[in-house]
Structure 1
């Protein structure tokens, strides 16, 4: 298990959302340089004042590259600090450095927050070596020793925590986008299936009437051309949305009031639509779902109902529920098994997600019936 964890950490890529440089970085560097300079000039008991001041001021600009080159920045910062400590030890002086150089903890945070797994392991090893060396050469008691290591661990833990939080947020967004893409794919299926079914019905009607009324066949061809053009346009728009990185241009979602556009008197089967008078206060998700459910049910009726002369779409509202009834008078073959395809599964998922119920099957007398009931959130 430990080996797998280390292998996974070693193979961890860099964080993908690392900004190269922002305005606050320049402000931070400027403040640190001024602070280090003032401390080096005015603070008492500074060992190797010129050298310590130059090192503290000179290391501050390295912070500008801490996100894009975290390992290199850690090596430079802690290597310089270790070199300065070694030089002071060989020179017989106390540990040289300014209090302002506490900012090197930012490099530890940035290493864990933005670096790859390999960079994190190597960089933390460099930090550990530098910390052990500093503790040996400038030992001031167990309290300071454990306190120093605790501060280093806190900086690394802070970077890990913020990285985990960012990764969790990114995964949540990716999951949300994936679910949205599944929904869009279902929308694409519903749209294309509806239009293709209408095309097939028009083609059959034109073929049947071509001998008696040639002009009716031409009218059917015109309708087929229009349906095909709309299908291609809607399919291309949906595919553009499904592509990664493509800008999405959203049109208003059709709702219950748009069901009247599905009504028709010819060709057979006739489609009748009956709606309640007031539907202004429906929740948007219910409004859109009812339209898609009716569209899919009508598509199935046009495609599968045999010898159907009439399809009825009826919406009833009351007691905080919205009920959709779609029936046809086609013939049902008792020996033919019911095919629960993608369309019916999509309808079931829509209804269940909204806390409703769906029944689809042969009607009591003749034909097929789809009954959906959705909560509207208010009893009116």
Structure 2
């Protein structure tokens, strides 16, 4: 549906053209003839955006009649006005024939009209009017092409944003579930092996499984709350750099001796969440794949960057782990324009290093 201000502009143009054409009459023709011609030229302009092709047919016939009756003092501006709408709103398969038909009709009428009319000889008059008509149609066509190109760009941006959001949700789900399930699997295995020989240790393992499960459910509810909320408002604060101690404690409960060093600083919530997720995934890999005994996590914050380094004395996740953890961490870092490295540590073991700029928002 056309916008209201455009419809009002068309209505004003229709009123001005109607008044102007009534002013062109010099009394040589009966008033009813003039009124009929003016009614075909002026009022239809108000609805040119609704029905461009029918309006073009009516206005063109009225304008041709005005040429034959010598009632006009302008170069078919109402027809040009409608041809702009045809070029803008009508597909090329119908817009081009409409233009060609109008041009042929104009030339035919000028050949029949008096050669000493306002527009001069038929050939010169035809060329002049064709320039006006083609320019109006081409202007509408150009605007249509620009709008279509912009619409395609907007659709592409929307699709890219949707893809990015899906990847973000996938990373969040992977980070939350993988970390917790790894710890639960380790503790369930411990409880299964020591249930008869050491019931106390089995109860401790079950307690850790219960606490981890509850924490995971809380995080999943928070994440689902983001998806369900119309404005994306979160139901609980997102985990951040202050929650790294809890991650380290979970890893210790899985049997890893974790040393944690953190420079606490005020960070944007999204950046703090990314730091948390990178450390969480690194510790998940240590628990699941590394077969490590010791792990060190160092978070250093300066004026420009946040640096994350996680090293262990195990073998690392390896090529056959089949997970997406390292890829997810790399994507998080690249989203900020940072740097990411993961591989064997020189003394033995595995090392993850990430640098995130503090002043760049994803």
User: Does the alignment reach a TM-score above 0.5?
Assistant: yes
Please, which of 12, 23, 36 is the counterpart of residue 31 of structure 1?
12
Q: Which has the larger radius of gyration?
A: 2
- Shift of the 141–99 alpha-carbon distance from structure 1 to 2, 3 Å rule, reads closer
Please, which of 91, 103, 110 is the counterpart of residue 88 of structure 2?
110
Q: How many residues align?
A: 334
- Shift of the 352–102 alpha-carbon distance from structure 1 to 2, 3 Å rule, reads closer
- Shift of the 340–359 alpha-carbon distance from structure 1 to 2, 3 Å rule, reads farther
Give the TM-score of the pair, scaled to structure 2: 0.76
Please, which of 93, 103, 110 is the counterpart of residue 69 of structure 2?
93
Aligned residues of 2:180 and 2:212 also touching (Cα < 8 A): no
1:342 aligns with 2:324: yes
Corresponding residue SS for 2:263: coil
1:201 aligns with 2:183: no
Q: Give the drift of 1:300.
A: 0.7
Please, which of 327, 335, 344 is the counterpart of residue 311 of structure 2?
327
Instruction: Tell me: higher relative CO, structure 1 or 2? Use CA pairs within 8 A at least 6 residues apart.
Output: 1
Aligned residue number for residue 217 of structure 2: 229
Aligned residues of 2:25 and 2:71 also touching (Cα < 8 A): no
- Shift of the 229–285 alpha-carbon distance from structure 1 to 2, 3 Å rule, reads closer
Aligned residues of 2:316 and 2:350 also touching (Cα < 8 A): no
Aligned residue number for residue 55 of structure 2: 77
Aligned residues of 2:339 and 2:355 also touching (Cα < 8 A): yes
Q: Give the drift of 1:59.
A: 1.0
Q: Give the drift of 1:35.
A: 1.8
Give the Cα–Cα distance (whole angstroms) in 2 for the partners of residues 152 and 236 of structure 1: 52
CA-based RMSD:
3.6
Deviations 1:218-269 (A, max 9, x none): 424522541452465356457x47xxxx946243554333323313153422
Aligned residue number for residue 249 of structure 1: 232
- Shift of the 132–21 alpha-carbon distance from structure 1 to 2, 3 Å rule, reads same
Equivalent positions of 1:122-161 (< 5 A) are 122-138=94-110, 139=122, 140-161=125-146
Please, which of 179, 188, 208 is the counterpart of residue 164 of structure 2?
179
Aligned residues of 1:74 and 1:108 also touching (Cα < 8 A): yes
Aligned residue number for residue 359 of structure 1: 341
Give the TM-score of the pair, scaled to structure 1: 0.73
- Shift of the 371–52 alpha-carbon distance from structure 1 to 2, 3 Å rule, reads same
- Shift of the 181–215 alpha-carbon distance from structure 1 to 2, 3 Å rule, reads closer
Aligned residues of 1:205 and 1:220 also touching (Cα < 8 A): no
Aligned residue number for residue 203 of structure 2: 215
- Shift of the 82–56 alpha-carbon distance from structure 1 to 2, 3 Å rule, reads closer
Aligned residues of 1:207 and 1:217 also touching (Cα < 8 A): no
- Shift of the 232–276 alpha-carbon distance from structure 1 to 2, 3 Å rule, reads closer
